Amino acid sequence: MPIKIIVIGGGPGGYVAALRAAALGGDVTLIEKENLGGTCLNWGCIPSKIMKNTADIFLKFLKADNFGIKVQGSVSPDMTTLMEKKDKILESQRQGIAVLLKNRGVVLQMGRAVIKSKEIVKVISKDDDSKELDYDKLIIATGTKPLNVADFPFDHHHILSSNDILQLDAVPESLVIVGGGVIGCEFACIFSALGAKVTIVEALSRLLPLPAVDEDCSKLLLREMKKRKITVFCDTIVESSDIKKDLVSIHLELSPFTDNPKPKKLKTNVIEAQKMAVCIGRSALSSDLGLENIGLKTTPQGWIDANEKLETSVQGVYAIGDILGPEKVMLAHVASHEGIIAAQNAMGDEGIMDYDVIPGAIFTMPEIGTVGLSEVEAKKKGYDVEAFSVNFRSLGKAQAIDELAGIAKMIVEKESKKVLGVHMIGAHATDLIAEATLAIQKGLSAADIAHTIHAHPTLAEIMGEVSLKACGKPIHG
């Protein structure tokens, strides 16, 4: 008899787990309560990149004269058409996932899943019909939702979640974004490009205050944001907000959480904007799953713990994706790989999840790509390191496409020149980081990359240039 696998959640972790389990011979059912693709496809990665693409094109139009193009008449964003395009792409992608599942023999059940016992999951449909399904192994991939802060809760009109901001029918004249992390910085760049007056409020001392992002990338991003007239308050929190005459009045305080020993005094304690978007975290979707019925406890925040095989404390029950919480890595591509590993283990084919080499892709303007250790983190781990940087403006391709802002930074072990980390900010950095990911995964040295011929003229030459510099043989960098 085939092993019966139930996967709860059809996001990038869940649907990939279902496909892999089915490919390994499992009798697989996938339960999804809303839309296939999860947060990534419906409320995150894909819709925000559709919007970023429009913002990029719009900026090009504004600089058309620089490219030898004359634009007659006015050019302005059309949010209605953009939202229609976004919805069309998302529906196409959802249908594509559904076809993949059908072709692999995965049964799709739409509805809310409630775990009844160690053998039974109930599926409750939108019209309250229910059915019970039995399983041998269970994979939980329910993900997260935007964190709602009690001091300034979402009203979905003035105070927005990251979901709300993806459904705006007009570009606001002014927008305050609470949180200078990945989501906040991406939205700041998009809406600034589309014409909004954007302000970011960040509690820590820098934008993108993540161990995985080198400080030099944060500094360059701040410089580029200032060029775009984006106002940034670091070392600052939002204490409260209230609505006055259709504007959000936002009250600021110095942050008690900052890592800056000498934060500057605030120049103002109150700012106003049409909209305030809260982008300071995610909360777990685990409270109504019935985990208590199988004795599976969560952390106080609702996260589920799992071992290196992605198995929870309950035998035969696995957890993947964002439901594992921030102690793991909350990225769509990580969830997909976790899905593969969990499915293999559920089907009896041993697999171990390795988090050592994971690329990060941040779609700011310019983009940021990271992999491996930052310079600070490498030193904390006791490595004797050297760091080398090359500007994107040294590349002929960067000059040709008028994308000069950016650096590539390589961190190497001093004696062996083994590559420990690469952090870059610049045009198409999210694509370019793939080469560095492979290099670190395979334990390559800077010399290995330097001796690899990179096509000219391409942005990929940045890896060759920074590797040559790390070897003490710079050409253009």
Which residues are known to be catalytic? Answer: 456
Q: What is the CA radius of gyration of the chain?
A: 24
In the block, residue with structure tokens 């208590």 = 292
Alpha-carbon 206 to chain mean position = 18
Give the amino acid at 336.
S
- List, in order, residues 6 or more apart from 257 with CB less than 8 Å away: 203, 204, 237
Structure tokens at 258: 């900052």
Alpha-carbon 244 to chain mean position = 33
Quick one: residue 226, left, alpha or beta (phi over 0 = left, psi -120 to 50 = alpha)?
alpha
Helices of type H across 63-211: 79-103, 162-165, 182-193
Q: Are 61 and 37 in contact (CB under 8 A)?
A: no
For the chain, the maximum distance between any two Cα atoms, rounded to a whole number of angstroms, is 69
Residues counted in the chain: 477
Beta bridge partners of 26: none
The DSSP 8-state label assigned to residue 167 in this structure reads T
Contacts for 49-52 with beta carbons within 8 Å, 24 or more apart?
49/363, 50/82, 50/85, 50/86, 50/89, 51/82, 51/86, 51/166, 51/190, 52/186, 52/189, 52/190, 52/363, 52/365
Beta bridge partners of 227: none
- Which of 430, 438, 436 is closest to 48 using CA atoms? 430
Beta bridge partners of 362: 368
In the block, residue with structure tokens 């200032």 = 226
